[in-house]
Amino acid sequence: MDMQAPIEEVKGVGPKTAELLKRVNLKTVGDLLYCLPRIYENYQTTVAIEDLKPGKVIVKGRISDLRVMRTSRRQLTITEGTISDDTGSLRTVWFNQPYRAKQFDAKREYYFTGKYELKNGRYVLQSPSAQLVQDVEKDGEAAGFQPIYGQKSTIKPQLFQKIINGMRDQFAEIPDLLPFTEHVPKYISPGARSEALYLSHFPEDPADAEAGRRYLAYEEIFELILAAKLNKLETLRLNAMPLKFEQKLTQTIVKSLPFQLTGAQRKATWEILQELGSKKPMNRMLQGDVGSGKTIVAAIATAQAAASGAQTALLAPTAILANQHFESFVKLFQGLQKQNPGMKLPSIALLTGATKCKNQLKKQIRTGEIDLVIGTHALLTDSTQFHRLGFCIIDEQHRFGVGQRQKLLLKSPEHTAPHLLSMTATPIPRSLQLTVFGDLDVSLLNELPPGRQPIVTKILPELAQADDLYPAMRELLRKNQQIYWICQLIEDKNQSQATPVKRQAKKLAEIFSNYQVGMLHGKMPVEEKDQIMDDFAEGKIDILVSTTVVEVGVNVPNANMIVIQDAENYGLAQLHQLRGRVGRGDQPAQCFLLTTSEGRPSKRLKEMEKSTDGFYLAEVDLKLRGPGEIYGAMQHGELNLQVANLSDTETITAASRHAAEFAKHPEDMVKYPELAMRIRKYQQLTTLN
Ligand code: ADP
Ligand code: MG
């Protein structure tokens, strides 16, 4: 079977159906076969209504008395109906699915699958999915274990099922895909692919489905890793500008700093400076917990780049952060010049949405007058071009999608790649380093600058704030220290969008009338934001009521308390980042997590109270949420793995070894044209350089 054959060649697919399928990106026979069932339903577990027990259930019956009701509050719709079989009847409800009222034919029988549970004192079947009995049962034979396909826009799952059924006889002709090298798991054998696809589409029992899934998950992970590995090889073929290790310059800078570098900073700096000297592009990630001092490491590296005549671009996720970096770089280089009069310093510029005279600045970047440009997304626009971009730094790299990162990297001179340093406080688990990042090079800052006091974290019910929180705030303010107060930005169409922030700022201004209370949120004009941030950094504002715009990177060492309202609404990584805004100087710091819920605090919040170690918290987060939601590409929905699970380390380890073996001879790829084609999408996704 030719997996690349156009879908028109599939039996039962006429021109009209073909058009529909193409619209959802199903263009080849292979595309169809890899459209796997969304779930499996075991209809053998169907129960009579009189025997129902609470939990997930399947019942077979007819539905009547359908009606839609609207609640006055929040425009919620409720669709109700009665399902009956020979033994009895039950009530079913759907929320916000008004189309359900018109979906059913009262004369026909359906399988209903859903949760049977107690709601307001009555047992109901909650939001069941439904399948026509006629669609599920084959030739009058009772339904057994069935795949359920997802609806793809206008294509009904039933149509899809019919097409796949029509191909059933040809599954045996599906060719193998993976290379068979020496070390492959037993279940990766000739014929395994065709069998796995068959079992996935036509399983007889859960074990069949699982066997199919296992092979296909392996295949998916293998492809992802191989793509990353080939990308890495490809990058090695590109040339980068060697940025010569300037030992003397480095020593001079280090001496001019107002502090001593930590051991971890020295080591990371050394690793980076060494690698920048290579003709091959660096692709390194600087991982260090919040406050570990990543910025200075980056700054030293930019000085080396400038000394070699290369331009550097530093990309930051928010204007506030870009501004702050710009100011600290200027300060650093001014300090350097003061101690070393006559020294030639890199010329620095700031480029954000708010930058005035953008065109002129862009001209200076294009002609190479500017050595180092620090900016936001404005750096990525087509009109921002460089003369000799040799080094890119991406701060808080997980905030950027792959496409954005690539846009920046492509601004280097033709046939070269810039060196890349990405920085993050969010540790990337080993499994992801291997898969998505293709065995990434990492420099680690596993040490905080000396003198940092631990941040004391406390969960506090919001009702207790007057008694337990305000006195603590007063005491801190008396010491001339500053406070962040974080509010959620609740989008409310009827009101000005920043209401909670405004309300809270007003309230605090009344309570702490001797102090300056400022307000900051993303919807404010940029100039105003900058002004507020500057005022806070200079100590003109005592309490800054803000949304999470201050979440990443912001550095005001005199702020030693952060209060996070509605703390239960944030993820662990985000809470840790927010808390990282304080404790950046040598004073003790406090973090209050305010909760509105009456029950016991969530596991997340308790972990926050217990630990300030970002690496530990990332692991907890990984366990609580799974890796899929957390990192880079996945966060941006670009990496849609169908079957594989990125916390399945066993499969990852096996596939990784297999891919490494194969990648030793990349020239063999020509013998695997289908594989080469399939991994192209991953190659675009995982390339970082
Ligand atoms: P992050 O890793 O979170 O980006 P920053 O680079 O913003 O951290 O550094 C946090 C603060 O620590 C800054 O005020 C910085 O000047 C200071 N800092 C960095 N390195 C040291 C050091 N070795 N000793 C003392 N303070 C340092
Ligand atoms: Mg930072």
* The predicted structure's pLDDT at residue 438: 66
Burial of 261 (0-12, 13-18, 19+ CB in 10 A): middle
pLDDT at 194 over 90: yes
Counting ligands in written order, the one closest to the CA of 289 is 1
686's tokens? 């995982």
Q: Strands of 46-107 (E only): list them.
A: 55-70, 77-85, 88-95
Using CA positions, which residue lies closest to atom 9 of ligand 1? 293
* The predicted structure's pLDDT at residue 633: 40
Using CA positions, which residue lies closest to atom 19 of ligand 1? 293
Ligand 1 atom with least separation from CA of 292: 2
pLDDT at 688 over 80: no
| Type and span of the H or E element at 561 | strand 559-564
pLDDT at 637 over 50: no
CA distances from 205 to 110, 134, 581, 661 (A): 21, 20, 53, 35
Pocket of ligand 1 (CB under 6 A): 259-262, 265, 288, 290-296, 425, 449, 553, 555, 557, 584
Q: Angle CA(196)–CA(38)–CA(97) in degrees, nearest 5?
A: 170
CB atoms within 10 A of CB 329: 22
Q: Angle CA(559)–CA(565)–CA(569) in degrees, nearest 5?
A: 125
Question: What gap in Å lies between CA 400 and CA 420, rounded to an integer?
Answer: 14
Question: What gap in Å lies between CA 618 and CA 553, rounded to an integer?
Answer: 18
pLDDT at 492 over 60: no
Q: Strands of 98-158 (E only): list them.
A: 110-119, 122-132, 145-148
Counting ligands in written order, the one closest to the CA of 332 is 1
Compute φ and ψ for 666, nearest 5 degrees. Answer: -60, -25
pLDDT at 560 over 90: yes
Compute φ and ψ for 558, nearest 5 degrees. Answer: -85, -5
pLDDT at 570 over 60: yes
Least confident of 285-289, 424-428, 474-478: 424-428
Compute φ and ψ for 366, nearest 5 degrees. Answer: -65, -35
pLDDT in tens, 600-633: 788 889 999 999 888 888 778 777 765 555 454 4
pLDDT in tens, 245-267: 999 999 999 999 999 999 999 99
Pocket test for ligand 1, best of 285, 330, 446, 584 (most atoms within 8 A of CB): 584
Q: Which of 308, 328, 282, 352 is nearest to 527 (CA)?
A: 352
Q: Which of 673, 652, 655 is nearest to 663 (CA)?
A: 655
Burial of 378 (0-12, 13-18, 19+ CB in 10 A): buried
Tell me the three state secondary structure of residue 488.
Answer: coil
Rg of the Cα atoms in the chain: 30
* The predicted structure's pLDDT at residue 136: 79
546 compared with 157, residue with greater pLDDT: 546
pLDDT in tens, 422-459: 998 877 766 677 776 666 788 999 888 988 888 999 99
Q: What is the DSSP string of 286-350?
A: EEE-TTS-HHHHHHHHHHHHHHTT-EEEEE-SSHHHHHHHHHHHHHHHHHHHHHSTT-----EEE
User: Cα(258) to centroid of ligand 1, in Å?
Assistant: 11
* The predicted structure's pLDDT at residue 25: 87
pLDDT in tens, 365-384: 999 999 999 999 999 999 99
CB atoms within 10 A of CB 479: 10
pLDDT in tens, 665-687: 989 999 999 999 998 877 776 65
293's tokens? 């001092």
| Type and span of the H or E element at 655 | helix 649-663
User: Cα(222) to centroid of ligand 1, in Å?
Assistant: 40
User: Cα(292) to centroid of ligand 2, in Å?
Assistant: 8
Ligand 1 atom with least separation from CA of 295: 6
pLDDT at 640 over 70: no
pLDDT in tens, 210-236: 999 999 999 999 998 898 888 888 877
